[in-house]
Structure 1
Amino acid sequence: MTRSLLPAHRLRWGAAAWTVGVLQYFICQVVVAAQWKTSYSWTRNFISDLGNTACGPFAPPHGQSAYVCSPAHTTMNVSFIVAGVLAAAGMVLLRPLWARQRTVAVAFWLWIVSAAGKALVGLVPENTDVALHTLGALNMPLGGLAVLLLSRRAAGLDQPWRRAGLALGRIGLIGATLTITGQFTTHLPWGAGLSERLASYPANAWMLLIAALALTRAHATAPGPAAPASQATAHHSFH
């Protein structure tokens, strides 16, 4: 492959990594939740409850106890790991979308640490080491902050898409704040699971947005088909 084709090639692979990572993450949540013998609540249960490896009451630090039993927990934990690995790989591949600036560099490493945290959530389920698992869960505020910073600096991002990215970053940070607050109070009018999803899902939506941008940029930068040799020879003969 020639050097001129490398950027478009990177953008396509980066877009693929983020698209696959996000889609498998959501599909696995639906599939694993459907395996619960008791009803899994998308507003009250944490996402991590899907990866809990034991059956019985479980309470996060400062949170309320709830019965958790996820028969397909291995599937969800593998999904967390895959999501983290592909989030990091996609960011490395899509790095050409952003200028070489200090703010971008900070956001880049925030995202990489966030992706590592996502993988850690799967490697250390909530019931095995809640402190280490909670450390991994910091991927949500870190990811939201990275989205905010990168949405301001994405090259070629039209204003409506830039505003969408900024909005998603803000929603993610608000969700992270509500998730932390929900650990210390029972007076929120919604469940802790909904707050956590407000913290987690916006970054995933942003990944799909940037993946679409990357594919558009890759198509625009890819060279057109070369002229057939016979046409090139004929053209040369007239000169």
Structure 2
Amino acid sequence: MADYAERSDTLAKCGAALWIVAAVGYLILEACAAAGFVPTYSYTRNYISDLGVNSPRAYVMHAAFYLQGILFLLGALLIVGVPDNRRARIFLALVAANALGNMVIGTVHAGPAHRVGAALAIVGGNLAIATGSAVVVSVGARDWYRRASILVAALGLLCLLMLLVNSTTATANLLPDGAWERGSVYSITLWQLTTGAYLLRSRRR
């Protein structure tokens, strides 16, 4: 039993490290693609997908989508292990939806299929935060972590809603489209990064 627990702990640490690599790697690759955008790229006005279409370094952005999707899913599998309850199975299903969505938008760069992929990635990822906050940490985890995770997920989904409102009304409500879209995506990146660090720190103790 001790050997099994040690192996499980090692796998969970590897999963947490993969989440950190996914978050940091995505942001670095996105910045590289943005640096090659012509004439200039705005993080607040341009869509993220513009980097996968109009940037000379579009292939870098495609790689970022794949990196995020694959490592988020692989990390979740290592952290959770064999799901033994309904909440864990739902969490893994939502992470899988995010991974599938990222692979779709990394492959199909415009059109209905691209929009479906974006919806899977954003909605699946933010709902995974809300579910995963009670799955990936120990039972004795501090309440602040779970409350903060729920808040991050709610903000991500709110940003997506505001993006849809902007698209429907064809006007910038409070913030431009790019800012709202990034809010709905960066919520997932932020949760991966902070949760990965939280898991590594807590398991080291």
Paired with 2:69 and 2:83, the residues of 1 have a C-alpha distance of 24
Alignment of 1:227-238 (within 5 A): none
What is the TM-score when the length of structure 1 is the normalising length? 0.77
CA RMSD in angstroms, aligned pairs only:
1.8
Unaligned runs of 5+ in 2: none
Q: Shift of residue 190 of structure 1?
A: 1.5
Indicate the percent of aligned positions where both proteins have the same amino acid: 28
Find out whether 1:166 has 2:167 as its counterpart.
Answer: no
Paired with 2:47 and 2:93, the residues of 1 have a C-alpha distance of 26
Aligned partner (choices 131, 142, 151) of residue 149 of structure 1: 131
Aligned partner (choices 180, 184, 196) of residue 199 of structure 1: 184
Judge conservation of contact 1:18–1:207 (CA < 8 Å) in 2.
yes
Q: Shift of residue 186 of structure 1?
A: 2.3
Paired with 2:185 and 2:5, the residues of 1 have a C-alpha distance of 36
Equivalent position of 1:131 in the other structure: 112
Larger deviation, residues 157-166 vs 18-27? 157-166
Paired with 2:47 and 2:141, the residues of 1 have a C-alpha distance of 33
Alignment of 1:41-52 (within 5 A): 41-52=42-53
Aligned partner (choices 70, 81, 103) of residue 66 of structure 2: 81
Equivalent position of 2:97 in the other structure: 113
Distance 1:103 1:11, change over 3 A: closer
Judge conservation of contact 2:24–2:193 (CA < 8 Å) in 1.
no
Q: Shift of residue 157 of structure 1?
A: 2.5
Equivalent position of 1:59 in the other structure: none
> Which amino acid in 1 is paired with 2:174?
P
Judge conservation of contact 1:94–1:214 (CA < 8 Å) in 2.
no
Equivalent position of 2:22 in the other structure: 21
Equivalent position of 2:122 in the other structure: 140
Q: Shift of residue 83 of structure 1?
A: 1.0
Q: Shift of residue 99 of structure 1?
A: 7.8
> Which amino acid in 2 is paired with 1:132?
A
Paired with 1:217 and 1:201, the residues of 2 have a C-alpha distance of 24
Secondary structure at the aligned position of 1:40 is classed as coil
Larger deviation, residues 181-190 vs 196-205? 181-190
Larger deviation, residues 40-49 vs 150-159? 150-159
Please identify which structure carries the higher helix content.
2
Paired positions, count: 199
Find out whether 1:40 has 2:41 as its counterpart.
Answer: yes
Secondary structure at the aligned position of 1:36 is classed as coil
Q: Which has the larger radius of gyration?
A: 1
Paired with 1:19 and 1:157, the residues of 2 have a C-alpha distance of 20
Secondary structure at the aligned position of 2:169 is classed as coil
Q: Shift of residue 119 of structure 1?
A: 1.8
- 1:23-62 alpha-carbon deviations (Å, 9 max, x no partner): 111011111111112121111111111111xxxxxxxxxx
Paired with 2:79 and 2:96, the residues of 1 have a C-alpha distance of 13
